Chains A and B, each alone.
Chain A
């Protein structure tokens, strides 16, 4: 227990010190937090992370839910085939996936050629984040699809039959029987998606980062995790810990709000 909790406690302490790892640490109070909150790069990172959290969430979760419904319904007779095919993007490592999408989003890449457009996905400051979102949607959809499929298997078939005998159409069965029974699974998916999106690091950095280096994504696409990692590598451990704790508190707040909303919806 102590083994697991100690690093976190040490991080809280660190976040109040200026410490480079070898000279003496100086107590600086809330200065680390203050200087992060004053830094334009940190503001940009918060905006980017919020973008990666909120933009893909709805299409990904709703899409995965509908796909799971379709595969489970009697409308498709090939479920065993679709399941692995829809899941397989998850098998590709984030690094490899980011590199493949980097090629697909390049100027002469598949996306521009197929759509007949000329978007500079990898360099235009506005387009950068949308490219990351495409990658996240591609890689994530299958995971939530499997989660919802597992949740759907907990919805008893006879309950749905009883509802349709009582005259409930497909839409009503979905809204009044399936969705309420799936509430725990939906909450799980939302919370996991929030945590994963706010902890995002690999995808944006390798998709739009500097060529082949670990230089990482430019400020217009870098997530908050970069504030932790670059400060650790740069030897600014107090700043890194402060950034990590702010990120953790944000994740905690979002999760609490989500639990609350779902509990109220249940009552």
Chain B
């Protein structure tokens, strides 16, 4: 019996199966992007229109929702939280990339006692979960006075094991001869690292940077637990409350959508530019399976 995949030459059956599969894929892709459209359209609708036309494009596009978000008392919170998110996310990303590059380099290119053991421990530590650590870490940071600060949002988590793993795998591919040549020319350990290893690993470090930025920008649990001071909260924590009206009980959906659009735009831009690293980065663990 001839099957569809075995006979790429043609025939009505082949064409039928092809049409069916493509129709399903188009439908799934459509469902995947539809909430994006609801958000995009809804951000430009008035409250009245959102009730009568929840899914289609706006008939009378308005910028009123964005004006409401970025001006007045809501605007104060909005600007401050966006600023907080950037002030936290950018140093966090830089630190993560630097730490992962250094650790990855050490694990890939230096021989030292217990190297594989330590690396194994690091991988195992990924299994220790956040639900167990949060009570202890909260007390720890409370004791050193780090609750309600920027540093509690910037430093913990930057020693990303997944990132170290990615950096190590990549740096193993740097030929030893290149590094040796640099040393022969009189370069020290640090010079070799910064001048040779770091630039040669730019692709993987870029991927780590993009993945880290997206993760940190989107993170909710950590700041929701560790930061109680509204002046220091990132946008993901303040955004849900920004859309309530003065009474605090009625949620204005059109503003909710406009706000979601604002915080999603940077991520979409990154995705458009660094699609490959973002998609393949999610499967780093999967390949090893």
Contacts and interface: CB of A to CB of B under 8 A. Distances in A.
Interface of A: 1, 4-8, 10-11, 14, 21, 67, 70-71, 73-76, 78, 81-97, 99-104, 106, 108-110, 113-114, 138, 141-143, 146-147, 150-151, 164, 167, 169-170, 184-185, 187-189, 192, 195, 199, 201-202, 206, 209, 211-214, 224-225, 228-229, 231-233, 237, 240-241, 243-245, 247-248, 251
A243 B54 CA distance: 40
14 contacts: A21-B139, A82-B29, A85-B33, A92-B260, A93-B218, A93-B263, A103-B38, A109-B54, A146-B283, A188-B285, A202-B221, A213-B240, A214-B240, A244-B133
Contacts of A102: 251, 253, 256
B38 A104 contact: yes
Contact of B217 (A89, A93, A146): A93
B259 interface: yes
Contacts of B225: 229, 232-233
Count class of interface residues, chain B: 35 or more
Given A103-B256, A229-B221, A245-B132, A85 B32 contact: yes
Interface of B: 1, 3-6, 8, 17-18, 21-22, 24-25, 28-29, 31-33, 35-36, 38-39, 42, 50-52, 54-55, 118, 121-122, 125, 128-140, 142, 214, 217-218, 220-221, 224-225, 236-237, 239-244, 248-251, 253, 256-257, 259-260, 263-264, 267-268, 271, 275, 278-280, 282-283, 285-287, 289
Contacts of A4: 121-122, 125, 128
Given A1-B118, A138-B31, A211-B248, A91 B131 contact: no
A85 B29 contact: yes
B245 to A, nearest CB: 9
Given A91-B214, A97-B35, A199-B129, A78 B240 contact: no
B129 A95 contact: no
A192 B127 CA distance: 11
A87 B249 CA distance: 35
B267 A150 contact: no
